[in-house]
Amino acid sequence: MMAWLTSGGNFAGGHLVWSGEAWVLATVATLVVIALGLATRPTPLAGRLGELAALALAGLGLVLLAARPTWLAEGERTEPGRVVVLVDASRSMGVTEPAGQTRLALAREVLARLPDAERFHFGGDLRPGEALTADLGATDIAGALQALSRRYAGEALAGIVLVTDGIDRGGLLRIEADGRRRLDPSALPELPGPLTVVQIGEDRAVPDVAVVDVRAGAFAFLRAPFTIEVDVVRTAVDLAATTVTLTRNGQAAGTRSAAFDQLGRGRVSFPVTPDAPGRFIYEVSVPAPPDDAVPGNNSMSRAIRVVRDRVRVLQVCGSPSMDQKFLRLFLKEDPGVDLVSFFILRTMADMGSDYAPQELSLIEFPYRRLFADDLATFDLVILQNFDHEPYFERDSDRLLENLAEYVKNGGALAFLGGDRSFDLGEYAGTPLAEVLPIELGIPGESVDPAPFAPTLTAAGARHPLTRLAADGAENQALWGRLPVLDGTNLSLGPADDAAVLLAHPSLTTGGGPLPILAVRQVGLGRTMALSVDSSWRWSFAEASTGGGNQAYLRFWKSAMRWLVGDPDDQAVTIEVARENVEPGEVQKAVVRVRDAGFAPLPGATVIGEVLGPRGRTPLSLPTDGQGLATIEVPTAERGAHRIKVRAVSAGGLQLGGAETVYAVVTRDPELDRIAPDSEALQALATATAGLYIAPGTWQAPLYDDAAARVVRERRESPLWSAPLLGVFVAAMASLGWWWRRRGGRR
């Protein structure tokens, strides 16, 4: 009867529930009673029983509709266990096999044999559904199995089918002490069903020569040798050896021949000695044979930052003094300094005298070797109260020109005062004077012997060289407590592009205070001029407070650190967002421009170029209010790229330059190895008591007949919406109305 009423359905063991709202039911029932009461008035009931019965039945039907009766049936049924298939969709599955099909196409043939299986695909994570393309990276077989176990926790599966080439990039394999890769059982979860492993792709069937690893640290030390080790492999290629080429920032840096062993592996090493600090891209490549399946894995890049381990300093002093003694002691006691010092020297006059060499207590000054052959090996040159003429008599202009070029090419020079320095040393008009931060050639008296205390300028208050304390007010107060100095050399004032950090409190020149400490960026190098020879007195600045000689030490440490600063510590710096980018991406580089006092310089013009394998792209853009200019460079050509910039102030002054490198790489780590790993897949099947199916073969996957699912069902059939109930209400209402009209009533 119930099935008939609801137009079909199985309701065995069910029961009736009422789901209507109580207030709705009460309202409808009240309206029905009122309607029936009105229907009985004013005529007598005699002869109206048929009419009233039909209307009462119609009203009862309306009450049933308001009560919303529902027939609820619950039960259980048993279904066979599910089979789940996991298909590797990493990029290595896109490799074309010798037969002409991609590995993913071969995997689809396996899926066709398992039409009722639930399908997932994976790379670095597990995803539902069938893979349309092989475009995922970081293949993690163990991670996919773990995700599957979590997804079906508490349910027994009839079977799990893993379809892959076995090239795992996750934690499935571990490197043993003997260098072999072996399965790591601890990486495997407890599987909810028997595992069948189907290998796709023949072992070593795809021709390929690849660079699989380049081992080098992220940092290296200037002039300290390090080694770049390279591993290469070949598969299905008849090669006894291949040529491995190393480039640095796109320039050739060496070649080696790598011989392959019986397993197709080769290794070479490149010894490298960095000759400059900065960021460099070393790229290793091997030639691709004509039938190479994956040319994109024939090269690999590594970005290496070269930093200084020890600062190599040349200190040349014209005569012994307290200033020379204090500075030499500071440099000798610093473990980060490699010091070469000369301060008791033979002059050309001494060497031309009638004395025999053994009768002279003065050492011979190897000035030609120092300022010609060995100059480039020093990070910093200190000329301390040194007059060049008595020593450079025969090659004065050439050696001073060497020193000036050394600065322009990235060297550092500290030029200190005294009775043999500045104009007293006859440096005006020499090539060296062109790179100093002060102007020489003052007429008349060129020294002022009066003691004084220098004042910190606005540029000095923010410059890192004169930062003796982190807090600005404390730094200003500390400079104010320093002892007075014993007079100063005079000058014509600072160079146009120099910054004055310390000034004389009363003497002026060129309309401004006389510079005592000035700095300048010259080309890629830096110079500093300190016009006194009594900075050693700063050692006693904090003696009364127990601070010892900390002010003196902090000053010279800051000076040396700034003078030999890495490229990131220049007035003009450039930083790229990433060292390695892919073709089609936009590389962003930020140029920061500061003036000689290290204040941000808005309105400067950044001019430069991007040099790539196929040419150059010019650049020109202004700095914003923060002294920044952002460069956006589209990337297309693979290889090393160099960005070189220089900044020019609004007044036309050259502020310095900077450069950096980045690499456009097409290398895909997922394709480092493309030979299927049957050894790993067989080990996986053994570790899980599963079944391994070799490529090109087929057999039925493992199936657990005991794995079944109990499915609970709950079926609700709303009787109030049954079509016959509505028909019944309409029929009874129509019948009652017909009887009423038949009796002549309205």
3-state SS, 367-424, equals: HHHHHHHCHHHCCEEEEECCCCCCCCCCCHHHHHHHHHHHHHCCCEEEEECCCCCHHH
Token code pair at residue 413:
């020079």
Residue that wins the pLDDT comparison between 334 and 548? 334
Task: Please tell me the distance from the alpha carbon of residue 588 to that of residue 634, in angstroms, as a whole number.
Answer: 9
Task: Find the mean pLDDT for residues 314-323.
Answer: 88
Quick: pLDDT tens for 265-293.
999 999 998 877 778 889 899 998 887 87
Give the DSSP H or E segment for 726: helix 723-742
Q: Where are the alpha helices (DSSP H) in 305-347?
A: 322-333
Quick: pLDDT tens for 461-493.
888 889 887 678 888 988 988 899 999 999 999
- Give the strand pairing for 159-164 and 83-88: parallel
Residue that wins the pLDDT comparison between 594 and 345? 594
What is the percent of the chain with per-residue pLDDT over 90, rounded to a whole number?
35
Residue that wins the pLDDT comparison between 161 and 291? 161
- State the average pLDDT for the chain: 83
Task: Please tell me the distance from the alpha carbon of residue 135 to that of residue 143, in angstroms, as a whole number.
Answer: 18
**CB of 228 closer than 8 Å to CB of 273:** no
Angle at 325 (CA atoms; ends 319, 327), nearest 5 degrees: 110
Q: Is CATH 3.60.20.10 what the domain over 570-664 is classified as, yes or no?
A: no
Cβ-based neighbour number of residue 497 at 10 Å:
18
Assigned CATH topology for domain 311-565: Rossmann fold (3.40.50)
**What are 691's strand-pairing partners?**
196
Task: Find the mean pLDDT for residues 358-385.
Answer: 75
Q: DSSP character for 465?
A: G
Determine phi and psi for 376, rounding to 5 degrees.
-70, -15
Q: Which amino acid is at 470?
A: A
Determine phi and psi for 733, rounding to 5 degrees.
-65, -40
CATH class of 82-205+674-706: alpha beta
Q: How confident is the model at residue 5, as a pLDDT?
A: 43
Q: What global pTM score does this model have? A: 0.51
Going by C-alpha positions, the residue among 732, 725, 728, 733 that lies closest to residue 2 is: 725
Token code pair at residue 72:
């609820």
Cis peptide, bond prior to residue 42, ω within 30 of zero: yes
Residue that wins the pLDDT comparison between 217 and 154? 154
Q: How confident is the model at residue 584, as a pLDDT?
A: 73
